[in-house]
A and B are shown apart, each in its own frame.
Chain A
Amino acid sequence: MNDYTLAELCAVACAEAWRGDGEILASPIGTIPMIGARLAKATFAPDLLMTDGVASLVANVHAVGAPPSARVVEGWMPYRAIFDLVWSGRRHVMMGASQIDRFGNQNIACIGDFAKPKSQLLGARGAPGNTINHTTSYWVPQHSTRAFVPKVDFVSGVGYDRAAKLGTSARFHAIRRVVTDKAVLDFGSPDHAMRLVSVHPGVTVEEVVKNTGFALVIDDVVETRAPTAEELRLIREVIDPNGLGKKELAR
């Protein structure tokens, strides 16, 4: 079989989040999600729209960290147009999560009490609007009990338990998957509690359980699929020739 790195495996697991999404805006936040989204676009999801992270839609699949001259611009996408897209639902974002709980409530705002936090993080950013309006996935580069907590300190991204209480107002809420350095998880259980879908090669179910601060739904756990030879070629030659993905895991 092919030799591949953990970063490459994770990028493929991220790419899979956008499978079947069609002609919507893919918004990956973080290096490995970005590699993943570009890989999806270069292979099984060619219709995805993607920005350069500034204000342009980019037609071609180019290397992460490449200069603007590598882009073929196909459209204008300033923040206002992105907000419009968010609220129209034609977007699937993969965000980070400083904390995430059993029902997918996500925190990127602060650790501790909001009034005087122990650690002020980014702020709510677009997480409340993203999660209530369109499909969301998460990328957590270090699967640990620090990130996977029984209760998040601040709900930035809305989880399934809170969405359920909102009734029809939350009808566009969907969390597709959570990718970590150890596993892939989703919310496909009957009450939308987080479910272990697959463990990465070499990782045991027990290890994932030990590094998760709440009870996971565990039934048929498979192994996360390995990158194909063509996916590895695209990552190494086109999308991440400088190996930037690896650095996100080293942190």
Chain B
Amino acid sequence: MSDKRITVADVVAELRDGMTIGIGGWGSRRKPMAIVYEILRSPLKELTIVSYGGPDVGMLCAAGKVRKAIYGFVSLDSIPLEPQFRAARQSGAIEAVELDEGMLQWGLYAASLRLPFLPTRAGLGSDVERVNPWLRRVKSPYDDGEELVAMKAIELDVALVHMNRADAAGNGQFLGADLFFDDLFCMAAKKRFMSCEKIVATSELLRQASVHTLRIHRGMIDGVVEAPRGAAFTSCEPDYDRDEALQKEYATTPWSDFFAKHVATARAATAKEGA
């Protein structure tokens, strides 16, 4: 098995202006923030971001990195409305592709399975159809003839996810209660990068928890970054809860101040050490 350990800088070196980047996690939960911070410090621009959105989307919007956002919602959970995302939307700074949460899952799943679309009832009759005129319907070819939304595959150039544990080969482990849709983000992407709290020996993975937690295997990952507290301030249970104080600071201070204080200075690179 090849050693896939890299740094956040190595990840960002793989990214290009205009790419479509899917970000795992959900709201303000288990977001790959160490990698997001490195993107914020980079000159990257014109990105299309696909996410069950939280501060990842808000910060990338605030930093002027986003041309288009594809999302079902953008929320900080304990602070329901994401202030930087709202500002970007309300100033017309970004193009918005707003979908039902399930449609987003279906789009990623379709891309994962190399299908052009997957049918669903979700979206029918709602303004998701009105504001996304590229969405088409499909008629069941069977006797029922039912009309459904043909949710188009959302193909990603890159997926970024954060796990609790991983090994150097890129086998990832989630120890919290929900994987969210991180596997689908990885399956839908050409390049897949995973940060984790700690890189451990492969033989250590099952000492932590059952085999059911090994949902991201090395065939789904191109590079793994050890980034302790790499999801903060979002939650990364059971390793740590959301840093509500820091989230509140983010939500209530001007972006330039928050950036200068918490983002501008890169944390020490941790690649090729440990394990």
Which A residues contact B (CB, under 8 angstroms)? Answer: 54-56, 76, 78-80, 83, 86-87, 109-110, 114-129, 131-133, 154-158, 162-163, 165-170, 172
Contact = CB atoms under 8 A, between A and B. Distances in A.
B123 interface: yes
B125 A166 contact: yes
A127 B123 CA distance: 9
Contacts of A125: 72-73, 100-101
A91 to B, nearest CB: 12
Given A54-B178, A121-B81, A128 B124 contact: yes
A169 B131 CA distance: 20
A79 B122 CA distance: 16
B120 interface: yes
Interface in B94-151: 96, 98-103, 105, 120-128, 130-131, 144, 146-148
Given A83-B102, A116-B92, A121-B81, A54 B177 contact: yes
Contacts of B53: 123
A79 B26 contact: yes
Given A79-B180, A114-B131, A124 B98 contact: yes
15 contacts: A86-B102, A87-B122, A115-B92, A117-B90, A119-B90, A123-B53, A124-B98, A124-B127, A126-B101, A127-B100, A128-B124, A129-B101, A156-B127, A170-B125, A172-B121
B181 interface: yes
Given A80-B181, A87-B121, A166-B124, A129 B102 contact: yes
Interface of B: 26, 53, 71-75, 80-81, 85-86, 89-92, 96, 98-103, 105, 120-128, 130-131, 144, 146-148, 177-181
A123 B125 contact: no
A78 B177 contact: yes
A126 B121 CA distance: 12
Contacts of A109: 98, 127
B216 to A, nearest CB: 14
Contacts of B86: 119-120
B85 A120 contact: yes
Nearest to B102: A129
A119 B125 CA distance: 23
A30 to B, nearest CB: 11
B209 to A, nearest CB: 14
Nearest to B92: A116
A78 B237 CA distance: 14
Contacts of B130: 155
Contact of B90 (A118, A154, A155): A118
B122 A55 contact: no
A42 B179 CA distance: 31
Given A55-B178, A128-B100, A129-B102, 15 more contacts: A78-B177, A79-B178, A79-B180, A87-B122, A116-B90, A119-B86, A123-B72, A123-B73, A127-B100, A128-B103, A132-B126, A154-B127, A158-B126, A163-B125, A169-B147
